[in-house]
Amino acid sequence: MKTYAFLLSGEHNTLPKSEALALLSIFSTSFNELYLLDRCLIIQADHLDIPSLGSRLAMTHNVIEVLAICYARIESLAEAAKEMEIPIERYRVRAKRLQGAVLLGEEAERVVGRELLKRGFKADLKNPKLDLKAIITEEKIILGIEVARPDRGAFEARRPHRKPYFHPGVLMPRIARALVNISQARYGDWILDPFSGTAGILVEACLVGIKGVGIDVQKMLIRGAKTNLDGLNCSLILGDAKRLPIASSSIDSAVLDIPYGKSAIIEAESKEALLNESMAELFRVIKPGRRIVIVADQSIEFQVETAGFKIIERHEDRVHRSLTRYIFVCYR
């Protein structure tokens, strides 16, 4: 097994780790979680498909293959740099200092560079063949070779107001992609969003080769969502989440953001009725042994478990003072 470190995004407390672990279950033959140092998740994995992993991650800054882990002290770092095995390449070393760490990034870079120079390695800051990373936490320093850097800028380019069709109250692309990843949907799987709205979740799924099905009761939203999905492998259906026009046990996973707020239109006797009936329908169409991820503006454990799902993770996302999103990862 090789050891890897994921430098997790600080934009949410729990979702980045959940996303990384969900993708590890897809793209490695086996893995073990070792520990979490601040925002640095350390794992061991066999046959990890790094390119595929890197292309899907949304809430990780970079992934490094770990060469050494030492205490966050200069003498410990110098000793690690003396002993770590790296190819004889022109290298560049960059350090990332996490909140609470005492040792400065520039200090760490100098120490590693000095020890590698003694061993005959040459630095090349402009065109290195090898990018060495040092992640400095309060207690430890993780040294390694960067193997993946997700394109986080692409998510910024897909922010809702930059898409052809915009409607307020939607998920940001990085959150939407992370939820798709947490659902453990694989390339070629079918993913369902029964409250598809402007199709933000489906866009993120289809961009990584997952086939999407979106249902919405509003014609206006279906028309607008089609422009956002132009060129992507997705079907949109004008329909009701309480009566899904989908065969039983035919969908691999689902990610849904249940309607809430002033702009939401509820086509049911009440929101409670919508939840009860839509959860029962989701349980019918999802394949056994697969996941769904639900976003709501309230705790809905009772409705989810009554439908037959098992809740395996709970997350909270505080959007602003009057809105906290509750995220439930469920198993069929």
Q: Which structural domains are found in the chain, ordered by start?
A: 2-148 (3.30.2130.30), 152-331 (3.40.50.150)
Supply the angle between the helices 74-83 and 105-118 in degrees, to the nearest 10: 40
Predicted local confidence at residue 73, as pLDDT: 95
Pairwise CA distance, residues 69 & 44, whole Å: 13
Pairwise CA distance, residues 324 & 301, whole Å: 16
Alpha carbon 188 to chain centroid distance?
18
Q: What DSSP assignment string belongs to 259-313?
A: --STT----SS-HHHHHHHHHHHHHHHBPTT-EEEEEESS--HHHHHHHT-EEEE
SS3 50: helix
Q: Which two tokens stand for residue 33?
A: 């979680």
Q: Which of 130, 149, 127, 134 is nearest to 87 (CA)?
A: 130
CB 142 within 8 Å of CB 108 = no
Per-residue pLDDT of the chain (332 residues; tens, 9 = 90+): 999 999 999 999 999 999 999 999 999 999 999 999 989 999 999 999 999 999 999 999 999 999 999 999 999 999 999 999 988 888 999 999 998 999 999 999 999 999 999 999 999 989 998 889 999 999 999 999 999 999 999 999 999 999 999 988 889 999 999 999 999 999 999 999 999 999 999 999 999 999 999 999 999 999 999 999 999 999 999 999 999 999 999 999 999 999 875 445 656 567 888 999 999 999 999 999 999 999 999 999 999 999 999 999 999 988 888 889 999 999 99
DSSP annotation of 151:
-
Q: What DSSP assignment string belongs to 170-224?
A: PPPHHHHHHHHHHTT--TT-EEEETT-TT-HHHHHHHTTT-EEEEEES-HHHHHH
Pairwise CA distance, residues 177 & 160, whole Å: 13
- Taking phi first (over 0 means left), then psi (-120 to 50 degrees means alpha), and beta for anything else, what does residue 213 get? beta
Length of the chain: 332
Predicted local confidence at residue 263, as pLDDT: 47
Predicted local confidence at residue 260, as pLDDT: 76
